[in-house]
Amino acid sequence: MAVGVFDLLHTGHLHYLEQAKALGDYLCVVVAHDDTVRKRKHEPVTGQEMRQRMVQGLKPVDEAIIGNPPDVPIFDILPKIQPNIIALGYDQEHAENSIRKALDERGFQEIQVVRVEGLSDDLDGTRKIISKIIDLWSVNKRLEEVED
């Protein structure tokens, strides 16, 4: 199982999901619910159904589902998916030890928690991509002003 927002799908997401798939023979990806994204990160650029559809179309992904809203406990999805492994991205802020402890407390001792490696690319994250777009837009805007 892999989890994430997957807003503005990019090579860092693909790399994460390729590594997650390599850990087992079936990969279920939980795409964050729009309300969860709003509560924990930002207003999503693309809606949950579109993000789910995009993730489902990636080769390593066997199944993509939309996660629970933020008022439902995060671990309530585990009985539905029944993962053997939870793959965490290199930049996901989750601490493996706290997840392990929470899994153990809820009777999920058999689930492994594995952090995968990051991609050494300068555009491996949504925020990096947005920042580069803004920088390019600013440069182009200044050039237009100089030309006028």
pLDDT digits (tens, 9 = 90+) for 27-36: 999 999 999 9
Q: How many CB atoms lie within 10 A of CB 145?
A: 8
Quickly state the pLDDT bin for 121 (edges 50, 70, 90).
low
Distance CA 48, CA 121 (A): 26
Q: Measuring CA to CA, which residue among 45, 57, 76, 77 is closest to residue 13? A: 57
Which of the four pLDDT bands, split at 50, 70 and 90, describes residue 120?
low
Nearest Cα residue to 7 out of 31, 30, 29, 27: 31
Hey, what are 33's tokens?
């619910």
Q: What are phi and psi of 5, to 5 degrees?
A: -85, -50
Once rounded to an integer, what is the mean pLDDT over residues 61-79? 94
Spatial contact of 9 and 106, defined as CB atoms under 8 Å apart? no
Question: Does residue 130 belong to any structural domain of this protein?
Answer: no
Residue 10 lies in a domain: yes
Q: What is the pLDDT of residues 86-106, one digit of tens each?
A: 999 887 777 888 899 999 999
CATH number for the domain that contains residue 54: 3.40.50.620
Q: Does residue 76 fall inside a structural domain?
A: yes
Within-domain flag for 141:
no
**Beta carbons of 104 and 79 less than 8 angstroms apart:** no
Residue 3: which of 100, 59, 75 has the closest Cα?
A: 75
45 to 8, 114, 130: CA distances (angstroms): 7, 28, 11
Q: Is residue 48 part of a domain?
A: yes
Q: How many structural domains are present in the chain?
A: 1
Q: Is residue 145 part of a domain?
A: no
Which residue range is the domain that position 8 belongs to? Answer: 2-120
Cut 0.75: pTM above it: yes
* 63, β-bridge pairs: 28
In a domain, 24, yes or no: yes
Other C-beta atoms within 10 Å of 37: how many? 22
Examine residue 28 and state whether it is found in any structural domain, yes or no.
yes
